[in-house]
Structure 1
């Protein structure tokens, strides 16, 4: 009986360790708000994903005053999942995004954002290393997200 309990304990420990292991990301390509293609590569260090307008507002609050190229200089990639946005809203929202000083990759059909199991209330932050997710955080506050992006420059 002890062996059985030990064996089950080892199995559970290995399963938990595997769940927390580094997960290589599939490469994907999305168009940004200016219809320029971007393909995820190994240079990206952070993947930010906003799945709703409220999450996108958190990202905007964190970086709206930043200079052009701010995210790129920190190797931060920003994906906005606009799949659930009504078509009429997209007709207005996407052209409005073109005035942003930062690149917004538009996930029009949710195929990229859905890979990462986030939620619609927070901004998902995936720390990347050599094309693999090594850590995940969720942000529900623009100021905290802003500080994390600032700190990214020092890592």
Structure 2
């Protein structure tokens, strides 16, 4: 199975290079010896234009198991990321990343990253992952929007 995951990720990487959405970054990390770790990707998701997330480039890691694509990757923002559907650890709570809900082996890295970008501005209030952001989003929307705009300043474009 390990060969299947690595071959699929090599294909994903090639497809990403040919057709990546504007402003997004995604590439496998490098090991200390300079070799490529195809199983762990460092990504940046731009905030959608004309939203409270606009201007931020949000760092995300994608960790793939040897069971990929049968199982989804683990996607994480930095710990403490403020969003109703992001756990305090930074783990993204999204149906397409849950093997018991919406995951399908045909879902691509590009689709995952676009789905996470969409989730940023349109939280799912039926699936809260952190109480502070959820309560703020559902009960004090203006405060929530201010907190999101403040957070966007913490994540300037990558070098």
Q: TM-score, structure 1 length as denominator? A: 0.27
Q: TM-score, structure 2 length as denominator? A: 0.26
Greater RCO between the two (CA within 8 Å, min separation 6)?
1
